[in-house]
Amino acid sequence: MTAPPRSDALVFFGATGDLAYKQIFPALQALVKRGLLNVPIIGVAKAAWTVEQLRARARDSLTHHGGLDRGAFEKLSALLRYVDGDYADQRTFAALRGEMGKAERPLHYLAIPPSTFPEVVRHLGESGCGTNARVAVEKPFGHDLASARSLNDTLHSVFPESSIFRIDHYLGKEPVLNLLYFRFANARLDATLSRDHVDHVQITMAEHFGVQGRGKFYDETGAIRDVIQNHILQLATILTMDAPVGHDVEAIRDEKVRLLKAIEPLDPEHVVRGQFRGYRDEPGVARDSKVETFAALELRIENDRWAGVPFFIRAGKCLAQSAIEIRVQLKKPVRDIYHEGAPASEYFRFRVGPDITALAVGMRIKRRGEPMVGRDVELRAWEDQARDMLPYERLLGDAIKGDADLFGREDSIEAQWRIVDPVLDLGAPPLSYDPGTWGPVEADRLIPAGWHNPIETQRAA
């Protein structure tokens, strides 16, 4: 198969924003350093800046996030351009067309609020900047199923589906890619991941911190929209999907969509929403806010491989620690030949962040000296993530190459919204919980076996 042509310019809207400062400039420097980015990089924003101020912002970003590499930064600085203007003003896009020069296949990266997507996309089409171009858009991709469909229609008015790259930065993380590789590179493990062997699955995405000054954004979003609809459903999909058929770019994405379509829409009776005490005092948060900062739920996959296996998911802010972990609890042996009456202790535990990648296997072994009496042990393998490729380095590099493997497809995004749509904007206020805990105690009723909290220490993980 012939590789698609590389983009010959990178335009990023929102060049003066927080995402660009913390994530994008470090990723761009890394791409330049590896020799993978040598095209004009045009920042667009309304800040009354000059290109020199943008370069200064990039330098400051790299000084505080990831480290300044003088040689790579000089090359990056030479590639930077800047267009200042309002996204609603067609003159901004005329100026952009001029800065693009001879570029014929630009990548437009929209690191801007989703509410501005339609206007920017329309102007890209009308100005000619969208001709033969690609577009990368940030999450949240829509606010619910209806808005996601509307946004897809807007993008398709200018760009074909093959030129649209919907970013979920978790899919660019090394631990998530490692989980995908581990699934299908180890045939015996993959055979174990089914209703014949699995009792239930738990997925925890916990953050020990709060909204960190993003109160207004979070109060319009909440935990279900912020991480469950995208990050967690993607993790669940990678864990449970069937092996892809074929090697083309759509093979994995086809299997993901097939799995997502097999997930039943969430039942409000199996969802517990919480809000940490003190959330309503955060700047930008409504004093009577009913937005959840924690959600726990049960979902079911109605296909031959997973029918009958419950998946228990929880995510939240101001919890006891920060950890992203998947625990696959295996079924008890059919016969308890040693008459111990012990609970099921065989499991797989995948730690996929934030600081380490880990795989652990839980099992029972004989106690030393005791006559056929066992104890639980865990075998662990772990890696530090400090030297992993930056997620945006991988994703922007792939988008420039036209490699869509790690990006959401139209039907995948809509399938994810279909799953969570019934539990968005529930009228009941969320339950209160204290910061530093594992959320409201009512979440415990979802899972008879009890939640398994991630192990805290890095070595133990």
Active site amino acids: 231
Residue at 368: amino acid letter: R
Q: Residue 417 is inside which H or E element, if any?
A: helix 410-420
Q: What is the largest CA-CA distance in the chain?
A: 83
CA 302-305-308 angle, to 5 degrees, is 50
Pairing, β 323-330 against β 198-206: antiparallel
Q: Kindly give the interhelix angle for 410-420 and 145-156, rounded to the nearest 10 degrees.
A: 170
The alpha carbon torsion through 381, 384, 388, 391 (nearest 10 deg) reads 90
Give φ, ψ of 408 to 5 degrees: -75, 135
Give the three-class secondary structure for 220. coil
Write the CB contacts of 379 (distance below 8 Å, at least 6 apart in sequence). Answer: 360, 361, 363
- Quote the CA–CA distance of 458 and 456 in Å, as a whole number: 7
- Quote the CA–CA distance of 250 and 91 in Å, as a whole number: 38
> Sheet harboring 164-166: ordered strands across?
80-84, 41-45, 9-13, 106-110, 134-137, 164-166
- Quote the CA–CA distance of 91 and 290 in Å, as a whole number: 41
DSSP E strands in 68-197: the ranges are: 80-84, 106-110, 134-137, 164-166
Token reading at 254: 């086809």
Give the three-class secondary structure for 206. strand
Helices marked H in 34-89: 51-64, 70-79
- Contact status, residue 382 vs residue 454, Cβ threshold 8 Å: no
- Contact status, residue 295 vs residue 273, Cβ threshold 8 Å: yes
Token reading at 206: 């916990």
Give the residue among 94, 460, 97, 451 at the shortest CA–CA distance from 272. 451
- Contact status, residue 298 vs residue 188, Cβ threshold 8 Å: no
Residue at 148: amino acid letter: A
- Contact status, residue 400 vs residue 107, Cβ threshold 8 Å: yes
Q: Residue 361 is inside which H or E element, if any?
A: strand 356-366
